[in-house]
């Protein structure tokens, strides 16, 4: 939708650049629409924002609420199921690719349905039709402070927290201080690396780096091509040997632009690993999954299967 004000024309500026892609997750009623309103208040007057809204129902109530607001943004609605479900995935990839070509936004927000398990976002970013157009910039997870305990056992909710870069605890005005503190401790036990903020009505102060394209701007110049960037996803249900895991950590360098995931070792301990430009953090977390999963964006291909599964280290 671009009829609120004079359309922002940035087609020539963005035609050859990677676009930051932000995923917004959170269970039903957590406050994702309120968060989007806050985001729009901060950025839509100066930037062209594209929003993808995904609903299980065949009508987008939330999108109607946003469209009747004061903001100028481009909208793609995908209803009748989760975009991360195999039944919609391939069709959504084609829709998104065409949507990007048509709108040429500065930033894309995907508001996932509250019932969605967002782990498959890695497959979306790595898809051949999209990997040259977008990169995963940030994952926001909205948590309902008042109702989290009612849904905390759902695997989708756990995964929404596990993959988050920033967690917003919403509706803190409806709970006491002790409840908020206990919730923060619980969220940190699942994802000790994510930034955690408390809020009401989804409002937060945004960093200016939400538009940061430095992942694809190695020399400080505008990025014209990304032929040397590889997005990879590695999953295995088998435990990883400690020596192999240590070896992976050792070889991560500044050419690994971003790496994030969870690794389950043979002793059943689970570790969260996160690396940005070779600066790696490693934290032991509560074992909430039996599978290892790693997402990486780097200047070279990493043979995770060989390093973590086949390499014999003495």
The verdict on 232 and 207 lying in the same domain is no
Specify the CATH number for the domain of residue 236. Answer: 3.30.1220.10
Nearest to 172 by CA among 193, 146, 195: 146
Q: Let me know: does 21 contact 110? Beta carbons within 8 Å.
A: yes
What's the pLDDT score for residue 135?
84
**What are the pLDDT digits (tens) for 283-307?**
888 776 778 888 887 888 899 999 9
pLDDT-based confidence at 225, cuts 50/70/90? very low
Is 2 inside a domain boundary?
A: no
The verdict on 122 and 269 lying in the same domain is no
The verdict on 119 and 261 lying in the same domain is no
What's the pLDDT score for residue 223?
29
Number of domains in the chain: 2
The verdict on 163 and 255 lying in the same domain is no
pLDDT-based confidence at 7, cuts 50/70/90? very low
The verdict on 234 and 138 lying in the same domain is no
**What are the pLDDT digits (tens) for 63-113?**
667 777 789 999 998 876 667 665 667 788 888 999 999 999 999 999 988
What's the pLDDT score for residue 167?
96
Mean of the per-residue pLDDT values of the chain:
81
Least confident of 100-109, 115-124, 273-282: 115-124
**What are the pLDDT digits (tens) for 160-173?**
898 888 999 999 99
- Structure-token pair, residue 145: 């402070």
Instruction: Quote the radius of gyration of the chain (alpha carbons, Å).
Output: 20
Residue ranges making up the domain that contains 260: 228-310
Is 91 inside a domain boundary?
A: yes
Q: Let me know: does 99 contact 14? Beta carbons within 8 Å.
A: no
Is 190 inside a domain boundary?
A: yes
What's the pLDDT score for residue 219?
32
Specify the CATH number for the domain of residue 167. Answer: 3.40.50.300
Residue scoring higher pLDDT (212 or 286): 286
The verdict on 306 and 263 lying in the same domain is yes
Q: Let me know: does 124 contact 84? Beta carbons within 8 Å.
A: yes
The verdict on 25 and 102 lying in the same domain is yes
The verdict on 73 and 187 lying in the same domain is yes
Least confident of 40-44, 196-200, 279-283: 279-283
Q: Let me know: does 18 contact 130? Beta carbons within 8 Å.
A: no
């Amino acid at each position: 939708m671009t009829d609120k004000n004079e359309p922002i024309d940035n087609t020539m500026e963005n035609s050859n650049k990677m676009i930051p892609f932000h995923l917004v997750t959170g269970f039903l009623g957590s406050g994702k629409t309120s968060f989007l309103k806050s985001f729009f208040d901060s950025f839509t007057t100066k930037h062209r924002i594209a929003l993808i809204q995904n609903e299980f129902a065949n009508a987008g109530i939330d999108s109607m609420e946003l469209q009747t607001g004061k903001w100028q943004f481009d909208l793609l609605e995908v209803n009748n199921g989760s975009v991360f479900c195999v039944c919609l995935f391939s069709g959504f990839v084609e829709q998104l690719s065409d949507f990007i070509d048509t709108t040429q936004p500065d930033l894309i927000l995907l508001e996932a349905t509250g019932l969605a398990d967002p782990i498959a976002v890695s497959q979306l970013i790595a898809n051949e039709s999209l990997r040259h157009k977008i990169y995963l910039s940030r994952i926001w997870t909205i948590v309902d402070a008042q109702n989290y305990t009612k849904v905390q056992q759902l695997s989708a909710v756990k995964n929404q927290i596990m993959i988050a870069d920033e967690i917003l605890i919403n509706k803190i005005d409806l709970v006491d201080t002790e409840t908020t503190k206990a919730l923060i401790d619980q969220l940190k036990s699942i994802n000790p690396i994510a930034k955690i903020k408390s809020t009401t009505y989804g409002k937060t102060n945004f960093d200016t780096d939400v538009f940061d394209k430095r992942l694809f701007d190695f020399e400080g110049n505008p990025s014209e091509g990304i032929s040397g960037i590889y997005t990879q996803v590695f999953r295995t249900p088998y435990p990883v040997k400690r020596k192999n895991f240590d070896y992976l950590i050792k070889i991560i360098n500044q050419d690994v632009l971003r790496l994030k995931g969870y690794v389950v070792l043979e002793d059943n301990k689970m570790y969260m690993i996160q690396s940005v430009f070779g600066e790696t953090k490693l934290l032991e977390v509560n074992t909430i999954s039996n599978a290892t999963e790693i997402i990486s964006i780097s200047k070279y291909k990493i043979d995770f299967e060989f390093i973590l599964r086949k390499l014999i280290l003495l």
